[in-house]
Amino acid sequence: MSRRTALARLRLTRHTMRVPERLIVAPTDLRSIDPFFVEELLNGRILLAGRVLETEGQSPFALELPSQAFAARLHSFRWLRHLRAEKSDQAAAMARSILNDWMAVHGYRLRGVAWAADTAAQRLIAWLSHSPVVLQGTDGGFYRRFMRMLAFHVRYLRRVAATTRDGETRFRVRIALALSSVAMPNGASTLKRAGQALDREIDRQILQDGGHISRNPRVALELLLDLLPLRQTYVNLGHDAPSRLIPGIDRMYPALRFFRHQDGDLALFNGATSTLANELMSVLRYDETAGQAFKALPHSKYHRLAAGHAVVIVDTGAPASADLSRTAHAGCLSFEMSSGKYRFIVNSGSPNFAGERYIQAARATAAHSTVTLDDTSSSLFSKSKTLGPVMVSGVKKVIVERAETEDGRDYIRAVHDGYLSTFGYAHERELSLNASGTILAGRDRFFVPEGKKSLLKSDGGLASARFHIHPSISLLQTETDSALLIAPDGETWVFSSPGNEVLVAEDIFFADASGMRASDQLEIVFPIAEKPEIRWFLSYRP
């Protein structure tokens, strides 16, 4: 049976499905709230995804929405959490009115962004979590419609779960179904099936080192924001939690700490964007595994160098599958560095809300603190509408060596083959951090592996090493081969590359919480036929 046929049958059977008379519990929502959102909502303005919709008393679903990102957030109803800041009857009535309009317009029309699997799963979680606000002062008619729609969401997500896109979306669908199995009246068999399906997803998607199969550091945080309330709901109601749930959560925490920089934010690899500090802290508050961050995540394929006040995180991996590469970035061998209270070297990150052009630009190798060859990304993305933006060629193999040198430096050497099929060259990067965390030494080299030959054209082979500077850092060029990186608190690092011209160029930081932001980057351009390698240093200046 095709998916379309299955969904058509689902619509036809909605009148005969079993509808619960009540909800058992409203799970907690750990996400941050914004009182300003409610104030604007009551004044006829909806603020989502960096855009504003003036409703002028109309239903937002009768209007043209400002962007796809806005539409997805509106239809997800996650914004209901902000009403915790304003528990008035007026705010509840406004939310109920919007929800009523949604049911009338989109309730059983299973198409478009409103019924994208991830959006529907988020909506089910939000409706369950914020049902006390939605149902505050309601009448019996709305209550019955709301309960029927909850039941329909459960039935819909059960139908689409197995065919939903792999990764975070499929995981969230399973979380939503597990949450509904305990928050709504259900028999033991329903709870068991939902828990077993979630267990399978935890086993498959949470790697042994605690990282997520997407290799996106932010995904773990997003999943924990849903998994922690689910765990607590099982406990509060006296149900046995799925067997993999608590061990899975415990496994994720060390990986989350691994990616945490000195300023408290998460590293920007493979689609990660800005992190709200209070959301991260609300998750870390439940961390019972606290300890030193790992030096490496061998299954997720990341390495971490840490000494003194400095932290360096390095990407040494490639996507696990084509489906998971839809949001992956071509940032192999890129690194980020933080010290004290600030990040100094970063990747450009992924925009929180922006058009497709910017999302794809953020995925390019040039948007990462690593080296490009002939302005080409180390992994290329499909432009086919059928395939979607998956990686179609590039990095397949990464060789990594990790050691501690005799003088106490933490050293990593990595080689990737992303340029081998196109240019015949491999990229090698060496990084070492001294024992006091005051000198990060780097070396980048291009070489033709044994048995291969150069495929470069006579006018090709121009490499560009880029070092993206966090917008909070001031950049001051001192010599042609060096520059100062100065944090707001005065902490200063010197970037230098003896014998090379260090260029200062304009840049865009995609991952700022307020949207895209102007920043700077350092760049070293070198022709690999004449100069196959460069050395560079980041040195702390007392």
What's the pLDDT score for residue 14?
Answer: 64
Mean of pLDDT values over 27-41: 92
pTM: 0.93
pLDDT digits (tens, 9 = 90+) for 438-481: 999 999 999 999 989 999 887 779 999 999 999 999 999 999 99
Using CA atoms, how far residue 542 sits from 250, 439, 539, in Å, is 39, 12, 10
pLDDT at 5 over 70: no
Q: Are strands 492-496 and 426-433 parallel, antiparallel or unpaired?
A: unpaired
Predicted confidence at residue 12, as pLDDT, reads 53
Looking at residue 137, its pLDDT comes to 82
Q: What is the pLDDT of residue 15?
A: 60
Rounded Cα distance, 418 and 428, in Å: 11
Q: Please report the pLDDT score of residue 84 as a whole number.
A: 84
Is the per-residue pLDDT at 107 higher than 50?
Answer: yes
- pLDDT at residue 366 tops 50: yes
- pLDDT at residue 340, rounded to an integer: 93
- The H or E element containing residue 118 is helix 117-129
CB 317 within 8 Å of CB 302: yes
pLDDT of residue 10: 63
d(CA 130, CA 231): 17
pLDDT of residue 8: 58
Q: Where are the alpha helices (DSSP H) in 167-216?
A: 168-183, 188-205
Residue type, 367: A
More confident: 8 or 251: 251
Amino acid identity for residue 239 in this structure:
H
pLDDT for the residue 1: 47
Say which DSSP state 304 is in.
Answer: E
Higher pLDDT, 473 or 275: 473
**pLDDT attached to residue 441:** 97
pLDDT above 70: percentage of residues in the chain: 97
Contacts of 74 (CB under 8 A, 6+ apart): 46, 48, 53, 60, 65
DSSP letter, residue 377: -
With a CB cutoff of 8 Å and minimum separation 6, the contacts of 427 are 333, 371, 373, 378, 415, 416, 418, 419, 444, 445, 446
Q: Which run of H or E residues covers position 154?
A: helix 140-160
For 269, the token pair is 């690899």
**CA distances (Å), 282 to each of 120, 172, 294, in order?**
24, 19, 22
Q: Is residue 134's pLDDT more than 80? A: yes
Instruction: Please give the C-alpha separations between residue 114 and each of 60, 157, 314, 328, in angstroms, as whole numbers.
Output: 13, 13, 37, 25
Element holding 402 (H helix, E strand): strand 398-404
On the question of pLDDT at 360 being above 50, the answer is yes
- What is the reported pLDDT for 50? 87
Contact 429, 444 (CB under 8 A): yes
Angle at 365 between CA 361 and CA 371, to 5 degrees: 145
Name the phi and psi angles at 208, rounded to 5.
Answer: -60, -30
Average pLDDT over residues 164-193: 95
Looking up tokens 């460069």 gives 534
The answer to whether 487 and 499 have CB atoms below 8 angstroms apart is no
381/393 Cα distance (integer angstroms): 7
pLDDT at 542 over 80: yes
